[in-house]
């Protein structure tokens, strides 16, 4: 019994140690896999579903070191906790729209890009009060579809400009067609256009399952 408990403890230690904290200062560092280690990281979420929350600048990251926390808030591009990625929203821009401060969950899409979920930003911002704000899904996703019903997907595929801004793109019809074609899953085009209304078709809870079927996303939880 003691041997079994000790074995279980070692397994837990392995899981904890494997969830190491690392960060990249820039998008270019991220592409080159130039991660720097962090000894301590505190992740605070406004959501009760912190483990599964994805969408919006929901997370505040700190280390307890005031000087480094200021850098973490303003300058660091991305942080990882094991396989989970947290992208800094502070310098993200879409049509001159700001995403605010804080960090958001991100996933890799393709070889060079990151996908995030956030509210519709810009002059064509879409909102529908009948759409739920909460999250709930199936299987390993366990909490994933309801939360993103009124949000859209953005792709980060370039670094900061001379003013430190990271300009990103929202996934639209054209980009979805290109990504589906790049994955050689042309049959998914009809799945995507099965939703006729553009505003509804571009919502994350419709886009993400198609990107997953195409094999373009690693994880979404």
Residue 179 domain-assigned (yes or no): no
Looking at residue 3, its pLDDT comes to: 41
Contacts of 122 (CB under 8 A, 6+ apart): 94, 95, 96, 97, 170
Give the residue numbers spanning the domain of 126.
18-169
Residue 194 domain-assigned (yes or no): no
10-residue mean pLDDT profile of the chain (221 residues): values are 38 44 96 94 74 73 96 96 93 88 92 91 49 32 54 94 92 96 95 95 94 83 44
Q: Which residues of 102-121 are buried (b: 16+ CB within 10 A; e: fewer)?
A: bbbbbbbbeeebbbbbbbbb
Residue 150 domain-assigned (yes or no): yes
Looking at residue 40, its pLDDT comes to: 92
Looking at residue 135, its pLDDT comes to: 31
Looking at residue 122, its pLDDT comes to: 61
Domain total of the chain: 1
Residue 209 domain-assigned (yes or no): no
Looking at residue 7, its pLDDT comes to: 40
Residue 67 domain-assigned (yes or no): yes
Looking at residue 123, its pLDDT comes to: 52
Residue 206 domain-assigned (yes or no): no
């Amino acid at each position: 019994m003691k041997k079994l408990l000790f074995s279980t403890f070692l397994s837990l230690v392995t899981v904890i140690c494997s969830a190491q904290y690392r960060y990249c200062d820039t998008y270019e560092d991220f592409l080159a896999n130039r991660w720097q280690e962090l000894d301590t990281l505190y992740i605070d979420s406004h959501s009760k579903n912190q483990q599964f929350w994805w969408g919006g600048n929901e997370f505040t990251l700190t280390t307890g070191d005031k000087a480094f926390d200021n850098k973490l808030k303003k300058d660091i591009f991305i942080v990882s906790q094991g396989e989970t990625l947290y992208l800094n929203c502070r310098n993200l821009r879409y049509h001159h729209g700001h995403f605010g401060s804080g960090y958001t969950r991100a996933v890799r899409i393709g070889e060079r890009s990151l996908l995030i979920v956030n509210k519709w930003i810009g002059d064509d911002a879409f909102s529908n009060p009948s759409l739920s704000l909460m999250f709930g899904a199936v299987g390993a996703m366990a909490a994933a579809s309801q939360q993103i019903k009124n949000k859209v997907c953005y792709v980060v595929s370039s670094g900061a400009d001379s003013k430190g801004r990271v300009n990103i793109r929202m996934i639209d019809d054209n980009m979805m067609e290109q990504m589906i074609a790049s994955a050689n899953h042309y049959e998914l085009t009809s799945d995507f256009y099965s939703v006729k209304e553009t505003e509804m078709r571009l919502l994350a809870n419709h886009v993400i399952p198609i990107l997953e079927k195409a094999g373009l996303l690693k994880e979404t939880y």
